[in-house]
Amino acid sequence: MDLCFLSASEIVDKIKKNEISAVQVAKSLIQRINLLEKKVKAFIYFDKEYFLKKAKDSDDWRLSGKSLGPLHGLPVAIKDIFKTKDMPTYFGTSIRENYLEEEESDVTKLLIKAGAIIMGKTVTTELAYFDAGKTTNPHDYLRTPGGSSSGSAAAVAAYMVPISIGTQTAGSVIRPASYCGITAIKPTYGIISRKGCLQQSFLLDQIGIFSRNIEDLSMCSSILSKDNINNDLKIKEPKFIFLKTSKWDNIEKEAKKLFENFINKISKNIIKIENPKFLEKAYDYQKIIQETDMAHNFSYFYEKYKEKIGKKLIEAINRGLNYKAKEYAIAVENMNLIYNQLTDTLGNFDSIITPATTGFAPKGLDFTGSPEFCSIWTYLGMPTINLPLIQNSERLPLGIQLVGRKYDDKNLLKNANWLFKKHKIN
Amino acid sequence: MDLCFLSASEIVDKIKKNEISAVQVAKSLIQRINLLEKKVKAFIYFDKEYFLKKAKDSDDWRLSGKSLGPLHGLPVAIKDIFKTKDMPTYFGTSIRENYLEEEESDVTKLLIKAGAIIMGKTVTTELAYFDAGKTTNPHDYLRTPGGSSSGSAAAVAAYMVPISIGTQTAGSVIRPASYCGITAIKPTYGIISRKGCLQQSFLLDQIGIFSRNIEDLSMCSSILSKDNINNDLKIKEPKFIFLKTSKWDNIEKEAKKLFENFINKISKNIIKIENPKFLEKAYDYQKIIQETDMAHNFSYFYEKYKEKIGKKLIEAINRGLNYKAKEYAIAVENMNLIYNQLTDTLGNFDSIITPATTGFAPKGLDFTGSPEFCSIWTYLGMPTINLPLIQNSERLPLGIQLVGRKYDDKNLLKNANWLFKKHKIN
């Protein structure tokens, strides 16, 4: 059996039942990494000896009969912007002097406490913005995996790890998940602690999880979240709203056709709503906040290493430095206003359904793709999930994005499970 | 019996028991208003015929045997920045063209639903900032009542109404309560709806209540608040922290002496903490947010009626227009950071205790006094209460301010009740 193809839930379950060991899992993943990492380049740091040792420790613990955490023996890959004591943390830039951290991020702490093994650090774009890292798309090495959580998405898609952690400030979880053809969740703003994670934007940064099915997302969310997202995924027939935003026309022709075909398949569960005008400004508001916050949070890099920083980041910070406080204040205030207007307008619904990206993974590695189908949901702090339910003739994936009500991640997971079980591509 | 001297709770209780009628209460208050309003000038709008008619309707309802709301027959005065269908709403400025509103604010709606009678609109400073209205201090007509909720505080202090509503963006509830010698609460940010209330600052505006005892504050909070602040005021011995902020030296000599005497009386319930450095910037952050938000929310008045607006407001808006987005972003981010640092530093405590104002009500009506002992708690969104427990030789009042943990208004009310019952001035 190729253990690398098991899901996170299956691994946890089989280890608990003593059917497999953490070392066996680690060995299978290492084999897979040996096979593919040269092409995929998902990791910025991976030490197989460390991984094997941690797996051995985990097995010893289990065999001694001590009580096991809910993720005992599960390997998890972590985006390179989370601080980890045992591994370097580069934030996707070579200019960082103190990349050996004394601090363990809250996310990795919670995972370790639950029994998981932090198996490596994955490639991020530079400071989690748009300047790409080395990672490629496992479906086509000449295409971008998306960003900024490039390595976390690609590693899971390439079966080099069952589950991984990323972050999203515009579209950095859902977009790479869509391009790489895996499931991912970005829970409601604020319900996962960001302590020990690089801060790009206080008002926008949100942590996400990548895996290859909804059970895994649910299991890991419940470990990381302050709220109680439990594992109950009982299915009830959901009511989806297909929201055509003002960005709808930016979708690529083939993606549009395939998405509309998909929508037709579930038409009895769908209501369509055309371009609610009040949503339009949310794109600008997200941008004002993100760019201002980068100007503030990255001032050290900007001032000291300007010539060594990517062009896209420099341009964004330059814009960020020039906004007026009043513009920012309006953007902040509208977070709540627009959310309230949206839920009032949509009335009784379970999830919003939209394509996750404007198309399939773009060719080339420099451009990580457009986050425009994700960024307003990040701005509004709503939980979103990517489901890899569309494929083109070249077998490139495209994600269906579900967007839930704030603090109702539980229902969103149920809706996603309903759709995923029914329309999974085999 | 002079019904105007009854508390809100007593009025509600006696009406419920058919011991007194709403009309009797209204008549007593009208008599009091006839006696004092020429001096105090607490009301911008008061129509005694309307008040009597509403009181009569309230009594008719009660006598018909229909079920009564928890505030049945209780007269409440409302700051002139809440929209009311039956009365004009000037926002403290004569330049407003459409002062007859079609909308009823959420606060007045909730009060009316609970059976209360909106008996008049009270004077606010211009657009709830620092340019004073006509109201005087009932303890000394040559002194300011404080602002911006000047009329709401003065009317309750002068026994022209048992309870009233105000708002606070810096120190506009606690400061006038301190100067006027009454109790007041500004609950945790966000737990009372601001719909239909003039917006000065989305991130700072908070609604408050004035009365002459803690039971009344508790009763009214529980009606207005989304959280469940119930009426249970069981007393347990609290642990107070006396926090000497960096503004401590701005306190007037006499106020300082009397406050220290008071602190000595309850020394076994007090721990002193000197000037926590991380709090210092909160003053600037509050100012940046307030002034920027005024520049944004009052742009219509500023652009159209610049020459008719008060000098203090113009200066503040001019500053507000010049802040950079980055400065605002840092101020927003620190709201949470400082609050967390504060609760970490203080550890296990019930309430912070400080003077409510830097001294007694200043002489003259132009300057409404300094909000510097209140503004950081507004910025942090923490619930605060004023208790009129200090008096100088001229019988001028000074408030003791208690500050509670966010969303723990219930415990704050209990602490306040403990202190008020024990040290009330008779």
- Identify the active-site residue in B14, B41, B54, B79: B79
Give pLDDT, residue B381: 98
**Interface size, chain A vs chain B, as Cβ–Cβ contacts under 8 Å:** 68
- Identify the active-site residue in A14, A41, A54, A79: A79
Give pLDDT, residue A229: 60
- Beta-carbon separation of B288 and A325 below 8 A: yes
Cβ neighbours for A180, distance < 8 A, ≥ 6 positions apart: A137, A138, A139, A145, A146, A153, A154, A156, A157, A361, A397
Cβ neighbours for B260, distance < 8 A, ≥ 6 positions apart: none
Dihedrals φ, ψ of A161, to 5°? -160, 145
% of chain B beyond a pLDDT of 70: 98
What's the length of chain B?
A: 426
Q: Is A300 on the interface with B (CB under 8 A)?
A: no
Pairing outcome for strands B183-186 and B206-211: antiparallel
Q: Is B129 on the interface with A (CB under 8 A)?
A: no
Chain A residue with minimal CA distance to B327?
A325
pLDDT tier at B237, thresholds 50, 70, 90: confident
Query: DSSP assignment of A77-133, as one string?
Result: EEETTB--SSS---TT-TT-S--S-S---HHHHHHHHTT-EEEEEE--SGGGSSS--
What tens digit of pLDDT does each residue of B71-129 get? 999 999 999 999 999 999 999 998 887 899 999 999 999 999 999 999 999 999 999 99
Give pLDDT, residue B227: 62
> pTM to 2 decimals?
0.90
Chain A residue with minimal CA distance to B336?
A202
- Beta-carbon separation of B329 and A296 below 8 A: yes
- Beta-carbon separation of A329 and B288 below 8 A: no
Per-residue 3-state assignment (H helix, E strand, C coil) for B27-72:
HHHHHHHHHHHHHHCCEEECCHHHHHHHHHHHHHHHHCCCCCCCCC
- Beta-carbon separation of A292 and B325 below 8 A: yes
Give pLDDT, residue A239: 94
Asked if the model's pLDDT at residue A47 lies above 70, the reply is: yes
Residue of A299, A324, A327, A330 best to disrupt the B interface, most CBs of B under 10 A: A324
Q: Which residues of B touch A323 (CB under 8 A)?
A: 324-326
For residues B204 and B289, is the Cβ–Cβ distance under 8 A? yes
- Beta-carbon separation of A320 and B320 below 8 A: no
Q: Is B319 on the interface with A (CB under 8 A)?
A: no
pLDDT tier at B229, thresholds 50, 70, 90: low
Cα–Cα dist B135/B122, whole Å: 9
Query: Would you state the structure tokens that stand for residue B396, as one six-digit string?
Result: 């001028």
| Residue B407 C-alpha, separation from nearest chain A C-alpha, in angstroms | 17
| Residue A186 C-alpha, separation from nearest chain B C-alpha, in angstroms | 21
Give pLDDT, residue A230: 62
Q: Name the average pLDDT for chain A.
A: 95
For residues A423 and A266, is the Cβ–Cβ distance under 8 A? yes
pLDDT tier at B1, thresholds 50, 70, 90: low
Query: Would you state the structure tokens that stand for residue A248, as one six-digit string?
Result: 């709808």
Q: In order of start, what are the domains of chain B with their CATH numbers? A: 1-274+329-426 (3.90.1300.10), 282-328 (no CATH)
Give pLDDT, residue B387: 98
Q: Is B314 on the interface with A (CB under 8 A)?
A: no
For residue A163, the SS3 value is strand
Q: Is A328 on the interface with B (CB under 8 A)?
A: yes
What amino acid occupies position B246?
A: S
Give pLDDT, residue A232: 72
What tens digit of pLDDT does each residue of A273-292 get? 988 999 999 999 999 999 99
| Residue A303 C-alpha, separation from nearest chain B C-alpha, in angstroms | 15
Give pLDDT, residue B215: 96
Q: Is B344 on the interface with A (CB under 8 A)?
A: no
Query: Would you state the structure tokens that stand for residue B175, as one six-digit string?
Result: 């400061």
pLDDT tier at B228, thresholds 50, 70, 90: low
Cα–Cα dist B181/A344, whole Å: 43
Q: Is B295 on the interface with A (CB under 8 A)?
A: yes
Q: Which of A202, A296, A330 sits opposite B326 (nearest CB)?
A: A296
| Residue B153 C-alpha, separation from nearest chain A C-alpha, in angstroms | 29
Asked if the model's pLDDT at residue B234 lies above 90, the reply is: no
- Beta-carbon separation of B328 and A329 below 8 A: yes
- Beta-carbon separation of B320 and A326 below 8 A: yes
ipTM greater than cut 0.90: no
- Beta-carbon separation of B329 and A288 below 8 A: no
Q: Which of B202, B295, B320 sits opposite A333 (nearest CB)?
A: B202
Q: Which of A203, A321, A327 sits opposite B332 (nearest CB)?
A: A203
What tens digit of pLDDT does each residue of A193-213 get? 999 999 999 999 999 999 999
What tens digit of pLDDT does each residue of A211-267 get? 999 999 999 999 999 765 666 777 678 999 999 999 999 999 999 999 999 999 999
- Identify the active-site residue in B9, B21, B28, B172: B172
- Beta-carbon separation of A296 and B320 below 8 A: no
Q: Which of A321, A325, A336 sits opposite B328 (nearest CB)?
A: A325
Give pLDDT, residue A234: 74
Asked if the model's pLDDT at residue A53 lies above 90, the reply is: yes
Q: Is B333 on the interface with A (CB under 8 A)?
A: yes
Helical pair B325-346 and A311-322, crossing angle rounded to 10 deg: 90
Give residue B88's Cα distance to chain centre.
21
Which run of H or E residues covers position A244? strand A240-244
- With CA atoms as reference, report the closest residue to B69 among B25, B31, B21, B12: B12
∠A404-A407-A409 over CA atoms, to 5°? 50
∠B59-B63-B64 over CA atoms, to 5°? 120
Residue B83 annotated among the catalytic residues of the structure: no
Cα–Cα dist A81/A306, whole Å: 20
Q: Is B293 on the interface with A (CB under 8 A)?
A: yes
Q: Which residues of A touch B296 (CB under 8 A)?
A: 326, 329-330, 333
Q: Which residues of A touch B329 (CB under 8 A)?
A: 202-203, 289, 292-293, 296, 328
> How many helices (H) and strands (E) would you count in chain A?
14, 11
Residue B105 annotated among the catalytic residues of the structure: no
Asked if the model's pLDDT at residue B233 lies above 80, the reply is: no
| Residue A197 C-alpha, separation from nearest chain B C-alpha, in angstroms | 15
Residue A79 annotated among the catalytic residues of the structure: yes
Cβ neighbours for A244, distance < 8 A, ≥ 6 positions apart: A272, A273, A274, A275
Going along B299-370, which residue ranges are E strands? 351-355
- Beta-carbon separation of B329 and A324 below 8 A: no
- Identify the active-site residue in A28, A58, A172, A221: A172
